[in-house]
Amino acid sequence: MAKVTSKLQVTIPKAVAREYGIEPGDEIEFQAAGEVIRVLPPRRRRGARLSRAERVRLFDQATARQQAREKAMPRPVEAADGRGWRREELYARGEPN
């Protein structure tokens, strides 16, 4: 895991730089992608655009992963009596006391 310096600089691990062909002096791009940040190496940025079908395929994969994560998350169930109000109180609103 890399640390961010006081000047907001990040060191790319050597193994990652080697795998993606990042060399000293290269400009990389940071893209916001929801709750994550994508780091695009130089060769990825230079005109390598995905086709529409490829983008749809990647989107469908991401959607399936998200649905699987949501299915695995337990949903809290609150008792009806623990909500702090009763049905009768709803009908009594706005009536003079």
pLDDT digits (tens, 9 = 90+) for 8-63: 999 999 998 888 888 888 888 899 998 999 988 876 544 557 889 999 999 999 99
**Unique residue bearing structure tokens 């929801």:** 34
Q: Residue 62: its pLDDT value, please?
A: 95
CA angle 13, 16, 22 (to 5 degrees): 95
DSSP code of residue 96: -
Q: Which residue has the higher pLDDT, 4 or 95?
A: 4
- CB of 17 within 8 A of CB of 11? no
Cβ atoms < 10 Å from Cβ of 64 = 10
Instruction: Give pLDDT tens digits for 79-92.
Output: 556 667 777 777 77
